[in-house]
Copies of this chain bind each other. A is one copy, B any other.
């Protein structure tokens, strides 16, 4: 299997597609821009979902479910929102098919036309704030901390599995608050949850920042984000948390009686991460032999392969080891396939990204040991059978940390401070990654740079020091460096 992957050095884009396909993450589908998420890909998404869901619930959020369809008129209610969103959507116009009188198939029944078209949700602010109007009367009803796991549809022209698909899975949080401060706190609390999830579970280092007005979510007052860096030097927006101000409350007439007994518009946030994260996971850690998964998100953390085949004596020991590992909370697969050879299996599990592989041969057993191979560095060591449980437990933690450290070193080495325009273009072409440069704060300059280089301002980092300087393009004064990059 592994031999069929295009090397990264040859064609990074094809390498990505090869990994997605051959590691069983996703397939294309007959529906334009929609993918099939295969069992291995979905198992990773389930682990992501469970970890995030627990973090949301720990911070007081609850889940709910709102309709898939949004009445067309709702999209026009918030002016900036419709401007930014309403264009590329799936539009439901009819509610019935009928047999084709001229043929064998079915046709849309022209008599079953909807009075008002329905839009398949591209995001749910409008339908949710329309509902919140009924749920919120007084400050006692606030805060409302609701999340939804759902599918959404945005009719994208160019799609790539996980990174950009017409339909994708995500979570969207929609919270309502009694004050600006509380809503802003929530926006940043979620941003920090996203950072922790990306770094501690995905082992993917990120930069927390705020978007420029031009890159803001349609309808938001501020959009915060976490930005990651892929192996090819391109950035990936991995999650966004929006401070929506009172925009949606005003659009949908959501007022509350505050403690001073006055009617006030409700303050809002919304935030989301999606199956796009799986693309980020692939492009942060994987190599030319296949997927590399951080142990905390690996559906199978350890595989035990009897060598050369699953004979009873070996299977007995393998099952004992598996039981010991499972007792430590580790997910284990014992390979009992007697059709394939060990070399083939090793390549297969490397392709799937299983973090640790135990090879168990008769000679190992006689010597009271087992061969332990780690996926991230490909190192192998012989470990005494006695302490293998604790060894593997520690190794999984090591792998998790090593993956993060490796990605962090790469990220740190690819943030380049640039002060001259000619360096800007050269760094972008030759090195890639983030460019920390001064910017004069205008959308005009931002767009001009994008036009010339395809690089966009990924974010204004939250932890950036104030530093007087001159815009890298126009030379006009600037107070702080921002991060530019080409992005997915």
Contacts and interface: CB of A to CB of B under 8 A. Distances in A.
A130 B93 contact: no
Contact of A67 (B34, B62, B74): B34
A437 interface: no
B95 A88 contact: yes
A234 interface: no
Contact of A86 (B89, B106, B131): B106
Which one of A98, A106, A108, A140 has the highest number of Cβ atoms from chain B below 10 Å of its Cβ? A106
Given A97-B75, A131-B29, A90 B105 contact: no
Contacts of A46: 63
A127 B27 CA distance: 13
Contacts of A93: 91-94, 108
A376 B210 CA distance: 52
Contacts of A87: 96-98
A52 B117 CA distance: 36
Interface string A75-86: 110000010001
Interface in A119-150: 119-120, 127, 130-131, 134, 140, 146, 150
Given A66-B36, A67-B34, A29 B91 contact: no
A64 B89 contact: no
Number of copies: 2
Contacts of A282: none
A30 interface: yes
B118 A39 contact: no
> Binding site of A, secondary structure by majority: helix, strand, loop or mixed?
mixed
Nearest to A91: B94
Contacts of A75: 97, 106
A127 B97 contact: no
A73 B74 CA distance: 31
A94 B174 CA distance: 28
A72 B67 CA distance: 23
Interface in A141-175: 146, 150-151, 153, 155, 167, 169
B90 A118 contact: yes
A350 to B, nearest CB: 21
Contact of A66 (B29, B94, B127): B29
A43 B65 contact: no
Interface string A49-73: 0000000000000111111111111
A104 interface: yes
Nearest to A98: B87
B76 A104 contact: yes
A34 to B, nearest CB: 4
Contacts of A96: 87-89, 91, 155
A37 interface: yes
B69 A82 contact: no
A31 B87 CA distance: 21
Which one of A36, A72, A73, A150 has the highest number of Cβ atoms from chain B below 10 Å of its Cβ? A36
A94 B90 CA distance: 6
Which one of A73, A97, A119, A169 has the highest number of Cβ atoms from chain B below 10 Å of its Cβ? A97
A30 B71 contact: yes
A406 interface: no
A72 B426 CA distance: 50
Contact of A43 (B39, B63, B117): B63
A65 B36 contact: yes
Contacts of A62: 39, 42-43
A38 interface: yes
B65 A34 contact: no
A167 B27 contact: no
A89 B82 contact: no
A42 B148 CA distance: 10
B63 A42 contact: yes
Nearest to A167: B68
A167 B95 contact: no
Which one of A86, A130, A140 has the highest number of Cβ atoms from chain B below 10 Å of its Cβ? A86
A27 B68 contact: no
A39 B66 contact: no
Given A43-B63, A91-B94, A91-B96, 10 more contacts: A30-B130, A31-B127, A36-B64, A37-B64, A37-B65, A39-B63, A68-B120, A75-B106, A76-B106, A91-B92
Interface of A: 27, 29-31, 34-39, 42-43, 45-46, 62-76, 82, 86-98, 104-106, 108, 117-120, 127, 130-131, 134, 140, 146, 150-151, 153, 155, 167, 169, 339
